Amino acid sequence: MIDKRLLSKRFSEHAKTYDAYANVQKNMARQLVDLLPQKNPSQRINILEIGCGTGYLTRLLVKTFPNAVITAVDLAPGMVEVAKGLTKEDRVTVLCADIEEMELNENYDLVISNATFQWLNNLPATLEKLSARLTPEGCLIFSTFGTKTFQELHMSYEHAKEKLQLTIDSSPGQMFYTLEELSQVCEEAIPFSTAFPIEMTKMETLEPEYFQTVREFFTSIKKIGAANSNKENYCQRPAFFRELINIYDTEYREESGVKATYHCLFFKIKKHN
């Protein structure tokens, strides 16, 4: 279970350093743009963006759809403040809200979200809510992280527990879906029927990043506000983390540095009349 108050606090505190460290997230945003439906540039469409952060994807949407009206939502006040400062367009409204609690009163031609759905506590209910607000030929496009994300960290964590003979049932972060598991979640949450046919496109990529040290990797996570925000406890003993870092540095160092893998999942769900 994600502690939303802690999540909001951490992202707000690191809003000003986010873009300097969020290389994978920015790459994912650009890949989402490649999945956008073909629209007449002069067409006026209504867009909802969830988890806008500093507004990087928002600004890509502004360029792609010059006549779109965009509502960009983020949980963290600090992120909203940065996004407003960088995205100065009258047709863009940036709101501070939790999409899981937010009431939606409009219909949207496009609902889009980048690297955000992993922070939701009830993804199926949110998918159902969002799909209900799509126009007859509307589109839901999102990216999130899969089970292989930070696999090096998770394996090092487990090896450290074994070596120190710790029996704690804990993890250094939240659990993620596989591509197929998330496909099933989407199919169960969104009404696929012959009366309202829905087309689903999905893909996955592995994005490695390299760091000079394990601590530099940890710093990069902290600087984008993505440190562990689970309500559950995880092992924080100094001796344990020394062992974890030693194992990580020994087993996952390559020529380019210490490796950290991001497992990126992409979904495009489109309604048809």
pLDDT tens for residues 168-211?
766 777 789 999 999 999 999 987 654 567 889 999 999 999 99
Can you list the domains of the chain with their CATH numbers?
4-271 (3.40.50.150)
Q: How far apart are CA 135 and CA 54, in angstroms?
A: 27
* Structure confidence by residue, pLDDT tens digits, 24-63: 999 999 999 999 987 676 778 999 999 999 999 999 999 9
Give the residue carrying structure tokens 């047709």: 91
Reply yes or no on whether the pLDDT at 231 is more than 80: no
pTM metric for this prediction: 0.92
Q: How far apart are CA 9 and CA 132, in angstroms?
A: 30
Q: What is the pLDDT of residues 66-95, one digit of tens each?
A: 999 999 999 999 999 999 999 889 999 999
Rounded Cα gap, residues 235 and 101, in angstroms: 31
Q: Which residues pair with 230 in a beta bridge?
A: 2
Q: In the predicted model, is pLDDT for residue 7 greater than 70?
A: yes
Confidence class for position 234, pLDDT limits 50, 70, 90: low
The three-class DSSP label of residue 10 is helix
> Could you tell me the pLDDT band of residue 273, with boundaries at 50, 70 and 90?
low
* pLDDT (tens digit per residue) in 240-260: 889 999 999 999 999 999 999
